[in-house]
């Protein structure tokens, strides 16, 4: 082992001792946390969580659709995730005639389960540190190629941890025959929609049910009618015993992106420039889409998933800015940096170098974000890319275009183009000569946008033609945008700090922090790799004198019931169950009433990607499905605060109640072993 690596390993060992609930830990290193976990009530061993020698809990956790988490709950590959994670798939299977979003969907046997084209899940085979292999000269590509050759359906990735101080290989099995088994109606799965999103108290039944299929040897395979339900190495046992304040909770999933170690400059960029502008752009887009959806049921379905995606981060960023200001994160970082400088004068140059690197890269990164939020949102340019694709056959191009137009309304896109081109004209400093010229020819961005939509013949599927698309006005626009894309390429990283020119200074800086700040719990920032976080069920003080309890019930759903408002129109089946108190085995006494538990909150450190993650009790049994954080928490990607930050979980008993009483799918309850 090289000396520097040894030193780094020692640092990890000594710093893995903090007691806060903060942190997202690598499962293969969880033995260094197990003492703390046990002191908080955890009953299992590190090997139960992650093992390469035997089946362990990790075999029941999946990366769902490349950005969410799911958990296997039966020996036949039955999978739970969030409704909002299955949303794209459910929407793609829906039409005005078969509106599974509005009405829900329940297969009553395997034959009724619906294949979801393009939907993939990944199950981790193992992870291992490859820092030394890379130091010894092996390339990432070589490591990946070797790993993928090990087994059928293997996909590998090498990810850096602690800004490149460590590297890990992750080997997954990739399954591409995944089928929809059940989904509650939107008025349960997305109950409260954007209004309640990021809010506690919450009453959303944010779950959906899928199944993984495999070939006759239980291996990953393309869709085939002859595929069989996948037999997992391990599935989660479900606990219906319920939870109470203070109970140990653990979450196992794929958090996407945190920025725990960024410096004050980056905090300022996020809270003063990036978030506020992105919020502003998205407000405009949401106003346009929302107005069109209110006019037409067809547009409402077509733009449902797009609208939800735009609205989600829009609201999150608002909470994030508030949270950063509330905690004084910028000033805290400044003070921390000043202390570091004072106590490590010989390393102060690292902060200077970081500052200079941020300055060098800021305009580029800003233009990248600006492009993503404005130009990229103009959807019609996608059909030009389809027509010009060198990978697709003509038949595939036609199919891709049909898929595109299914969820496209040219009047919405025109309005979006007018608004976003005007914004780009205002802020874009990486604008191309070509786009500038087009603006100039038509009296500015607005005139150009209108001209563009008056002159394109690609407005509808009927007008789409592979050959003429290549010379359409929209193709001219796409060509004018291409040089901008070319220029921002250097900045398209996970976040501002991952840009190589910045990261190269973060590497020695974070290492220096670890050598210096022995009391801090240094977890590697989230990067969509498998992590464990743990904490407890806990209420919190929402505002002065206002304590929020950790559990909601059916009473709250009925209290919000309003047939006039789409998002609060409780399904009749729930009203009926409430009226007759017909809760079957899912009814409980709570807050002095006979009711059904719905959601709860805990102190688990989570972020986007943790959606759908299994939330487990101290015995590793499934007690809920994670789906959100509270609005006061969303700054936890940058600063986690245990007194405020809470993740929001759909109680497994509500999931089962809905499957049983609303879906009438008792066969699934039985399959889950209950």
Q: Which residue is nearest to ligand GLU (CB)?
A: 611
Task: Name which of ligand GLU, ligand ARG, none residue 202 binds, using a CB cut-off of 5 to 8 Å depending on partner kind.
Answer: none
Among 439, 477, 627, 654, binds ligand GLU (CB under 6 A): 627
- Measured between alpha carbons, how far is residue 81 from residues 256, 403, 437, 536, 633 in Å? 16, 25, 48, 21, 22
Question: Would you count residue 607 as binding ligand GLU (CB under 6 A)?
Answer: yes
Query: In which region does residue 612 sit, left (phi positive, over 0), alpha (psi from -120 to 50) or beta (all else)?
Result: left
Check if 442 is active-site: no
611 binds ligand GLU (CB under 6 A): yes
Catalytic residue among 88, 206, 265, 637, which?
206
The rounded distance, in Å, linking the Cα atoms of 158 and 169 is 4
| Region of residue 298 (left: phi > 0; alpha: psi -120 to 50; beta: else) | alpha
Selected from 329, 610, 617, 618, the binder of ligand GLU by CB under 6 A is 610
Q: Which is nearer to ligand ARG, 65 or 194 (CB)?
A: 194
Q: How far is the CB of 190 from ligand ARG (least distance, A)?
A: 6
Q: How far is the CB of 24 from ligand ARG (least distance, A)?
A: 16
Told to check if 415 binds ligand GLU by CB under 6 A, we report no
286 in helix, strand or coil?
A: helix
The answer to whether 414 touches 423, Cβ cutoff 8 Å, is no
Give the bridge partners for 623, in sequence order. Answer: none
Q: Which of 21, 74, 84, 660 is catalytic?
A: 84
Q: Judged by CB, which is closer to ligand ARG: 18, or 308?
A: 308
Residue 304 contacts ligand ARG per CB under 6 A: no
Write down the least CB distance from residue 37 to ligand GLU, Å.
Answer: 21
Question: 188-198: buried (b, 16+ CB within 10 Å) or exposed (e) per residue?
Answer: bbbbbbbebbb
Residue 164 in contact with ligand GLU, rule: CB under 6 A: no
Task: From the list ligand ARG, ligand GLU, none, pick the one residue 606 interacts with, judged by a Cβ distance below 5 to 8 Å according to partner type.
Answer: ligand GLU
Which of ligand ARG, ligand GLU, none binds 607 (CB below 5-8 Å, type-dependent)? ligand GLU
Question: Per CB under 6 A, does 187 bind ligand GLU?
Answer: no
CB 528 within 8 A of CB 256: yes
Best CA proximity match to 270, nearest among 306, 316, 336 = 316
Can 611 be counted among the known catalytic residues? yes
Q: Which stretch binds ligand GLU (CB under 6 A): 7-15, 118-126, 270-278, 605-613?
A: 605-613
| Alpha-carbon torsion, ordered 666, 672, 673, 674, to 10 deg | -50
Q: Which residues are CB-contacts of 514 (< 8 A; sequence separation ≥ 6)?
A: 8, 11, 12, 15, 162, 520, 522
* Of residues 251 and 452, the one with the C-beta less far from ligand GLU: 251
Q: Apex CA 558: angle with CA 552 and CA 561, to 5°?
A: 120
Q: Is residue 159 within 8 Å of 529, Cβ to Cβ?
A: yes
Q: Which of 74, 611, 613, 633 is catalytic?
A: 611
Among 608, 612, 620, 624, the residue binding ligand ARG under the rule CB under 6 A is: 608
Chain centre distance of CA 68: 5
Contact indicator for 44, 58 with CB cutoff of 8 Å: no
> Measured between alpha carbons, how far is residue 14 from residues 9, 11, 37, 514, 516 in Å?
9, 5, 17, 9, 11
SS3 for 425-462 is HHHCCCCCHHHHHHHHHCCCHHHHHHHHHHHCCCCCHH
Interface mask toward ligand ARG for 173-212; x: CB under 6 A:
--------------------xx--xx--------------
Asked if 308 is part of the footprint of ligand ARG (rule: CB under 6 A), the reply reads yes
**Residue 469 or 528 having the CB closest to ligand GLU:** 528
Active site residue 48: no
- Specify the stretch interacting with ligand GLU by CB under 6 A; choose among 39-47, 452-460, 513-521, 604-612: 604-612
Q: How far is the CB of 64 from ligand ARG (least distance, A)?
A: 12
d(CA 644, CA 540): 6
381 binds, among ligand ARG, ligand GLU, none (CB under 5 to 8 A by kind): none
Residues 342-371 that bind ligand ARG (CB under 6 A): none
User: Contact between 236 and ligand ARG (CB under 6 A)?
Assistant: no
Q: d(Cα 27, Cα 44) in Å, to the nearest integer?
A: 13
Smallest separation, CB 25 to ligand ARG (Å): 22
Binding mask 66-85 for ligand ARG (x = CB under 6 A): ------------------x-
What angle, rounded to 10 degrees, do the helices at 473-488 and 381-388 form? 90
- Taking CB under 6 A as the criterion, which residues in 50-79 touch ligand GLU? 68
Q: Per CB under 6 A, does 628 bind ligand ARG?
A: yes
Binding-site ranges for ligand ARG (CB under 6 A): 84, 193-194, 197-198, 308, 311-312, 608, 611, 627-628
Binding-site ranges for ligand GLU (CB under 6 A): 68, 606-611, 627-629
Catalytic site positions: 84, 206, 611
């Amino acid at each position: 082992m090289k000396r520097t690596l040894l030193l780094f390993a020692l640092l990890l060992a000594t710093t893995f001792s903090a007691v806060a609930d903060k942190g997202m830990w690598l499962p293969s290193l969880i033995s260094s946390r197990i003492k703390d976990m046990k002191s908080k009530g955890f009953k299992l061993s590190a090997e139960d969580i992650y093992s390469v020698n035997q089946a362990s809990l990790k075999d029941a956790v999946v990366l769902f659709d490349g950005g969410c988490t799911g958990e296997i709950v039966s020996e036949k590959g039955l999978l739970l995730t969030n409704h909002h994670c299955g949303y794209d798939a459910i929407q793609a299977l829906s039409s005005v005639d078969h509106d599974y979003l509005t009405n829900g969907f329940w297969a009553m046997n395997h034959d009724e389960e619906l294949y979801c084209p393009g939907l993939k899940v990944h199950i981790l085979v193992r992870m291992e540190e490859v820092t030394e292999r890379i130091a010894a000269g092996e390339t990432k590509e070589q490591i990946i190629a070797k790993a993928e050759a090990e087994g059928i359906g293997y996909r590998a990735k090498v990810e850096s941890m602690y800004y490149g101080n460590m590297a890990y290989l992750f080997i997954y099995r990739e399954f591409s025959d995944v089928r929809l088994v059940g989904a509650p109606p939107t008025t349960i799965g997305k109950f409260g929609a954007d209004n309640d999103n990021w809010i506690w108290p919450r009453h959303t039944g944010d779950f959906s049910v899928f199944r993984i299929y495999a070939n006759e040897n239980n291996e990953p395979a393309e869709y085939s009618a002859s595929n069989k339900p996948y037999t997992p190495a391990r599935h989660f046992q479900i606990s219906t015993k319920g939870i109470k304040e203070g109970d140990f909770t653990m979450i196992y999933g794929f958090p996407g992106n945190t920025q725990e170690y960024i410096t004050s400059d980056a905090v300022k960029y996020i809270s003063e420039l990036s978030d506020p502008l992105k919020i502003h752009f998205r407000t405009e887009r949401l106003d346009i889409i929302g107005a069109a959806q209110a006019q037409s049921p067809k547009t409402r379905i077509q733009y449902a998933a797009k609208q939800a995606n735009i609205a989600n981060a829009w609201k999150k960023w608002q909470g994030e800015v508030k949270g950063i200001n509330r905690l004084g994160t910028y000033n805290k970082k400044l003070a921390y940096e000043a202390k570091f400088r004072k106590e490590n004068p010989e390393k102060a140059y690292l902060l200077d170098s970081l500052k200079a690197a941020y300055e060098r890269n800021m305009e580029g990164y800003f233009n990248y974000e600006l492009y993503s939020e404005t130009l990229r949102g103009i959807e019609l340019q996608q059909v030009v890319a389809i027509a010009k694709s060198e990978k697709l056959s003509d038949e595939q191009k036609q199919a891709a275009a049909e898929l595109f137009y299914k969820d496209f309304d040219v009047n919405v896109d025109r309005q979006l183009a007018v608004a976003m081109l005007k914004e780009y004209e205002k802020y874009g400093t990486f604008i191309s000569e070509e786009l500038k010229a087009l603006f100039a020819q038509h009296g500015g961005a607005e005139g150009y946008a209108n001209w563009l939509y008056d002159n394109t013949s690609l407005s509808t599927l009927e007008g789409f033609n592979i050959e003429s698309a290549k010379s359409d006005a929209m193709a001219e626009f796409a060509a004018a945008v291409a040089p901008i894309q070319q220029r921002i390429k250097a900045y398209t990283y996970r976040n501002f700090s991952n840009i190589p020119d910045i990261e190269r200074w973060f590497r020695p800086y974070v290492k220096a922090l670890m050598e210096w700040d022995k009391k801090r719990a240094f977890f590697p920032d989230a990067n969509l790799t498998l992590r464990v976080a743990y904490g407890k069920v806990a209420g919190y003080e929402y505002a002065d004198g206002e304590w929020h309890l950790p559990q909601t019930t059916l009473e709250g759903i009925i209290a919000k019931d309003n047939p006039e408002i789409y998002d609060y129109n409780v399904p009749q089946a729930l009203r009926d169950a409430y009226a007759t108190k017909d809760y079957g085995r899912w009814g409980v006494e709570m807050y002095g009433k006979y009711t059904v538990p719905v959601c709860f909150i805990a102190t688990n450190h989570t972020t986007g990607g943790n959606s759908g993650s299994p939330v487990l009790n101290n015995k590793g049994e499934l007690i809920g499905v994670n789906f959100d954080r509270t609005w006061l928490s969303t700054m936890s990607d940058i600063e986690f605060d245990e007194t405020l930050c809470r993740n929001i979980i759909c109680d497994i008993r509500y999931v089962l109640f809905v499957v049983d009483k609303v879906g009438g799918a008792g066969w699934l309850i039985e399959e889950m072993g209950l």
